[in-house]
Amino acid sequence: MHEVEMQRLFKDDQMIRPMVDFVPSSEPGGPLMILKPFEQTLWEARNTRPFSVPEIKWIMKGVLLGLYTVHMKDLVYTDLKMENVGMQGFENDRPNENIRNLIVRLSDCGAISKPSQREVTSLTYRSPEIHFGKSWSQTCDIWSWGIIVNIASNITKLR
């Protein structure tokens, strides 16, 4: 199972949502990964209230740090979207007074791959080189990161 391999590869990384247990395939219904629970995703948080500018900066810095650790292993995350950013400590009713209490982690390692090795999902977040069938690399993750910044910023401006 590819995601289990990636979870094990990044087991010591602070910016990747960790696997806390694994039920092997010999078990009925297995294999099953058990990941550390998070209160919500960035996608869910964006529906509760507008983000403050400091929150956007802090959240997106955390996402960049997660991408950095993936990229340092010459891999591409390939499925960066708001649904795959786990969050802990987000205040649903008001901006976080201390943004350092807001924990951000990349949540889904199942699509991590070497550059140009697989089909990339999440049409909304795809970079131009993927749309045009060209070879792609870590830059496609940075494109997706920019899309998320834009969405988070525009939600703040529109409300």
For residue 43, list its beta bridge partners.
Answer: none
> Rounded to whole angstroms, how far apart are CA atoms 137 and 127?
10
Active site residue 21: no
For residue 16, list its beta bridge partners.
Answer: 106
For residue 86, list its beta bridge partners.
Answer: 41, 105
Task: Quote the radius of gyration of the chain (alpha carbons, Å).
Answer: 16
Q: How many CB atoms lie within 10 A of CB 127?
A: 19
Alpha helix locations (H) across the chain?
Answer: 2-9, 42-46, 53-71, 128-131, 139-158
> Rounded to whole angstroms, how far apart are CA atoms 35 and 18?
6
Catalytic-role residue among 79, 93, 108, 141? 79
Q: How many CB atoms lie within 10 A of CB 40?
A: 16
Q: Provide the annotated active-site residues.
A: 79
